[in-house]
Chains A and B, each alone.
Chain A
Amino acid sequence: NAGVTQTPKFQVLKTGQSMTLQCAQDMNHEYMSWYRQDPGMGLRLIHYSVGAGITDQGEVPNGYNVSRSTTEDFPLRLLSAAPSQTSVYFCASGKDRQPQHFGDGTRLSIL
């Protein structure tokens, strides 16, 4: 009964470091997506996937990579962290290409 699990919950990075935010769901949802949430801007879509092996860019994809090798997992990679990527990140999954279940979020700070 895990739903959508995001790890880590908190992370502090230095500029230029790389890291991967993990997202896993156990509901066999085809659709998964990553969002960032910034004050005054609402949630914005970074990347999404409509099934294993299929990914596409959202509204703000620059600086982020994703892959979808399994239905369950959809990791988000920051290749070279920048202070502008300081944000709260949410992963979501759902049916019919709609995000219906959200993870608890990852608070990421880039120094």
Chain B
Amino acid sequence: KNEVEQSPQNLTAQEGEFITINCSYSVGISALHWLQQHPGGGIVSLFMLSSGKKKHGRLIATINIQEKHSSLHITASHPRDSAVYICAVWASGSRLTFGEGTQLTVNP
């Protein structure tokens, strides 16, 4: 079992829909990252959080430390949100452990 599990692996939505991507992890962590990777390959850091909730524009990230679970929500989804979303956890030392990513496709 991977230390970081994401669901779903693939997600297709219609423009305007509310989207949720989930991340579960099996170790104690000090921080969790959500990353976005566009078809061109570049990676952008969306959020780093250790508790509660963060919001940036249409993106919201939440984390429940006790349940070892985080969610990334996208409100009013748009085709430009189509990308791979990656969850990564910071457990100890100086290394992140990454999930395999969720491929999101938003159709117009």
A contact set with B: CB distance below 8 Å:
31, 33, 40-45, 48, 50, 56, 58-59, 88, 90, 92, 97-102, 104-105, 107
CB 8 Å contact bits of B68-104 with A (1 = contact, 0 = none): 0000000000000000001010100011101111000
**Residues in B whose Cβ lies below 8 Å from that of A31:** 94
* Range for the number of chain B residues in contact with chain A: 20 to 34
Question: A7 to nearest B CB, angstroms?
Answer: 15
Question: A108 to nearest B CB, angstroms?
Answer: 13
| B11 close to A (CB within 8 Å) | no
Question: A40 to nearest B CB, angstroms?
Answer: 7
Question: B98 to nearest A CB, angstroms?
Answer: 4
Q: How far is the CA of A92 from the CA of B96 in the complex (A)?
A: 12
| B19 close to A (CB within 8 Å) | no
Question: A86 to nearest B CB, angstroms?
Answer: 15
**Residues in B whose Cβ lies below 8 Å from that of A50:** 94
Q: Which of A41, A45, A101, A104 is within 8 Å of B96, CB to CB?
A: A45
Report yes or no: B48 in contact with A100, Cβ–Cβ below 8 A. Answer: yes
